[in-house]
Amino acid sequence: MRRFQGNPILQPIISNKWESRRVFNAAAIKVGKNVHILYRAIGNDGISRIGYASSPDGYIINERSPTPIFRPKNNTENYGCEDPRVTLFNNEVIMAYTALTETDHEQIYQIALTSISADDFLSKQWKWNERLLPFKGIRNKDGVLFPKKIDGKYLMFHRLEPDMCVAYSDDLKRWYDIKSFMRPRTKSWDCWKIGAAGPPIELNEGWLVIYHGVSFEKVYSLGVLLLDRDNPETILHRSEAPILTPVTDYERFGKVPNTVFSCGNVLINDEILVYYGGADSVVCVATYELNELMPRK
Ligand code: BMA
């Protein structure tokens, strides 16, 4: 595993009001030549919006949008659109995110889904389609869509605290067979809560999935899973030790200390680039050889 020497790859820009305080938890996809990074940004008003940056090699940022590419639009998300996770599905980019609102006495968060055509995405015409609430009214986070249908159905990971869960759909609107398939482990780095990071990667051996786990000390780390290709609820392998845990200053010190939290990864020539937020404050990247993430034979 290698942390990119140039981390963090994205930091807040104080002169941009919407991203002046924190940029973190980024989604990533490779479409066309570039890696596209969609990150959560918090500015002066404390509200999360989604920013955009792109990179020809996954590390060096050569473009960054001066304005958000996605922002709260209705009263279920007026306190923010958080933690984007994007999946390329046929010719569409589908984005799951956490919609946040607040009443007098509580915060209400739930998963929201939207999409944009790959053509509009690539030409940066941010014409997002309808925003859907797959689990309306249910407190839920960490939604991420599989890049293809399994057994004719869409499959989404999500987290009903503290478990990692699945749900299935025929049309992306109505979701059913909502259930937990993986629980936190006792006496482990992932003993408190778990949730998916970026979209699963399909390999001959199964679906490779990066996930986050939280310990009782509130340390956020990342681990890896290998899931059955035909039935992703079957766990073939779960890493004993984390694949990334906060060590560097940019992971240990910030708004939420001791946090590495990922919403996206891309596979480039047998290397997986994992994008993650450091301490809920900056965007970073770490690289793994595919082999090091696979179970030892
Ligand atoms: C989770 C999410 C993430 C955040 C993490 C650590 O519940 O809210 O956005 O990075 O907590 O604060």
pLDDT of 110-124, one tens digit each? 999 999 999 999 999
C-alpha to C-alpha distance for 1 and 286, rounded to whole angstroms: 7
Half-sphere exposure of 31 (CA within 13 A, CB side): 23
Ligand 1 atom nearest to CA at 40: 9
Pocket of ligand 1 contains residue 140 by CB under 6 Å: no
Please give the pLDDT value at position 268: 95
Residue having the nearest C-alpha atom to atom 5 of ligand 1? 261
pLDDT band at 104 (very low <50, low <70, confident <90, very high): confident
| Ligand 1: centre distance to CA 261 (Å) | 7
Pocket of ligand 1 contains residue 19 by CB under 6 Å: no
| Ligand 1: centre distance to CA 268 (Å) | 27
Ligand 1 atom nearest to CA at 259: 6
Percentage of residues in the chain having pLDDT higher than 90: 96
pLDDT band at 105 (very low <50, low <70, confident <90, very high): confident
| Ligand 1: centre distance to CA 40 (Å) | 11
Pocket of ligand 1 contains residue 82 by CB under 6 Å: yes
Residue 226 pLDDT greater than 80, yes or no: yes
Ligand 1 atom nearest to CA at 142: 2
| Token pair listed for 253 | 């010190």
Bridge partners, 22 (sequence order)? 42
Please give the pLDDT value at position 149: 98
What 3-state class would DSSP assign to 259? Answer: strand
Locate tokens 């999935």: which residue?
Answer: 209
Task: Tell me the per-residue pLDDT of 84-98, one tens digit each, with 9 for 90 and over.
Answer: 999 999 999 999 999
Task: Tell me the per-residue pLDDT of 135-176, one tens digit each, with 9 for 90 and over.
Answer: 999 999 999 999 999 999 999 999 999 999 999 999 999 999
Please give the pLDDT value at position 296: 81
Residue 270 pLDDT greater than 90, yes or no: yes
Please give the pLDDT value at position 90: 93
Residue having the nearest C-alpha atom to atom 11 of ligand 1? 261
Model-level pTM greater than 0.85?
A: yes
Residue 32 pLDDT greater than 90, yes or no: no
Nearest to 219 by CA among 182, 240, 184, 191: 191
